[in-house]
Amino acid sequence: MKKIIALVLALVLAFGLVACNNGGDQSSTASGSSTASDASTASTGGDDSGDLITVGFSQVGAESAWRTANTKSIQEALTEENGFNLIFSDGQQKQEIQITALRSFIEQGVDYIAFSPTVESGWDDVLNEIKEADIPLILVDRTTDNPDESLYVTWMGSNFHEEGVRAGEWVIAYLEDKGLMDGEVVIAELQGTVGAAAATDRMAGFKEVMDQYSNINIKYSQTGDFTTAKGQEVMEAFLKSDTANEIKVLFAHNDDMAIGAITAIEAAGRKPGEDICIISCDGGKAMFQNIVDGKANCVVECNPLLGEGLADVIKKLEAGEEVEKKTYSEEDIFDQNGLAGALKAADHINERAY
């Protein structure tokens, strides 16, 4: 009888331990990734994740199709199966939310912090706090204006300045092809979020090209905050001005604003892609479809699929390997007819990832 009781007790104890372990794992397995606030209220974080590498990721927000694809790519790469415990925080395009998330990651003692800064300035204090906490920082997509390279281990993303230059050079080729370079050419620009690297650098690159031509006038330029709704609203306002009929080209800093502008242009009784040439940055399926349908003309690719690169770089760091300070994505340019070396959008629409 004593033997039976001892056996039952041993089984109960063993079952209890397994249940405890599973309980710990389940909280992160079930959610796939947790939010910064979930993790700071729960007693999980770096300690409970066992052999997993805990990464706190502060995302800009969910302002565009590009951003949604970027988030998906990160969440699909930093999974438990791949050795990660991802703590994901949505910054809702607000710097203060991102700063709170970064401080929460420090408090939780995560193994790595990765983030995409919504704007370039205003990060100095929190970046130094991350450095003092000795947590390796990886910048993804956008950059900060802090010149101190010791604050981060590596950065990966797109060359936004180059994207602006490519957009400008394509526009000149288009205007020459259409025989429009003899007179004044009025251009409208929908800028991204004010102060964001993606907006500042694209604007500067585009302007650099345009400044070489005295007949080009970027007469309308305003932020549409990288969203479809604001892109539409600002384009509607441009089209209400007395001289709106002069607009020959629209450069939108992303697809979403270009798509909003297409709606505004059609509502104003003009033909997007014909009356007004439309070029944007990003290269999602929706923009490709507009190019194929003749409602837009060109897109300069900006690649959101940075998740695998992020996972790879963390694994290299874990293995004590050296990593590049900066890694630029490889990107193409797509249009209707393959003007000036661009690829034809129709030939590549089925390959688009988002």
- Contact residue for ligand AHR among 226, 238, 251, 334 (CB under 6 A): 226
Tell me how many residues contact ligand AHR (CB under 6 A). Answer: 12
Q: What DSSP character marks residue 77?
A: H
Asked if 119 interacts with ligand AHR (CB under 6 A), we say no
- Contact residue for ligand AHR among 90, 111, 120, 141 (CB under 6 A): 141
Rounded to a whole number of angstroms, the minimum distance from the CB of residue 205 to ligand AHR is 13
* Strands 154-157, 247-252: pairing kind: unpaired
Q: Are 297 and 336 in contact (CB under 8 A)?
A: yes
Token code pair at residue 115: 């983030």
Asked if 230 interacts with ligand AHR (CB under 6 A), we say no
The distance of Cα 22 from the centroid of its chain, to the nearest Å, equals: 35
Asked if 171 interacts with ligand AHR (CB under 6 A), we say no
Other Cβ atoms closer than 10 A to 169: 17
Rounded to a whole number of angstroms, the minimum distance from the CB of residue 332 to ligand AHR is 15
Shorter beta-carbon distance to ligand AHR: residue 45 or 164: 164
- Contact residue for ligand AHR among 44, 191, 254, 336 (CB under 6 A): 254
Contacts of 291 by beta carbon, 8 Å cutoff, 6+ apart: 273, 297, 298, 299, 334, 335, 336, 345, 346
| Interface positions, 294-313, toward ligand AHR (CB under 6 A) | 302
Q: Are 75 and 107 in contact (CB under 8 A)?
A: no
Other Cβ atoms closer than 10 A to 16: 10
Rounded to a whole number of angstroms, the minimum distance from the CB of residue 308 to ligand AHR is 17
Asked if 167 interacts with ligand AHR (CB under 6 A), we say no
Rounded to a whole number of angstroms, the minimum distance from the CB of residue 351 to ligand AHR is 19
Rounded to a whole number of angstroms, the minimum distance from the CB of residue 195 to ligand AHR is 12
Coil, helix or strand at residue 263: helix
| Interface positions, 192-211, toward ligand AHR (CB under 6 A) | 198
Other Cβ atoms closer than 10 A to 92: 14
Instruction: Return the bridge partners of 301, or none.
Output: 282
Token code pair at residue 289: 């479809």
Rounded to a whole number of angstroms, the minimum distance from the CB of residue 116 to ligand AHR is 7
Shorter beta-carbon distance to ligand AHR: residue 63 or 189: 63
CA-based nearest residue to 197, from 159, 231, 233, 224: 159
Coil, helix or strand at residue 162: helix
Rounded to a whole number of angstroms, the minimum distance from the CB of residue 221 to ligand AHR is 17
Asked if 98 interacts with ligand AHR (CB under 6 A), we say no
Shorter beta-carbon distance to ligand AHR: residue 111 or 256: 256
Q: Are 333 and 324 in contact (CB under 8 A)?
A: no
Rounded to a whole number of angstroms, the minimum distance from the CB of residue 170 to ligand AHR is 17
Residues 174-186: b if buried by 16+ CB within 10 A, e if exposed = bbeeeeeeeeebb
Shorter beta-carbon distance to ligand AHR: residue 88 or 226: 226
Rounded to a whole number of angstroms, the minimum distance from the CB of residue 341 to ligand AHR is 22
Q: Are 271 and 265 in contact (CB under 8 A)?
A: yes
Asked if 111 interacts with ligand AHR (CB under 6 A), we say no
- Ranges of beta strands (E only) in 60-179 are 84-90, 112-115, 137-140, 154-157
| Interface positions, 53-82, toward ligand AHR (CB under 6 A) | 63-64, 66-67
Shorter beta-carbon distance to ligand AHR: residue 68 or 82: 68
- Contact residue for ligand AHR among 87, 281, 299, 345 (CB under 6 A): 281
- Contact residue for ligand AHR among 90, 120, 189, 282 (CB under 6 A): 282
Q: Are 2 and 56 in contact (CB under 8 A)?
A: no
**Interaction site with ligand AHR (CB under 6 A):** 63-64, 66-67, 141-142, 198, 226, 254, 281-282, 302
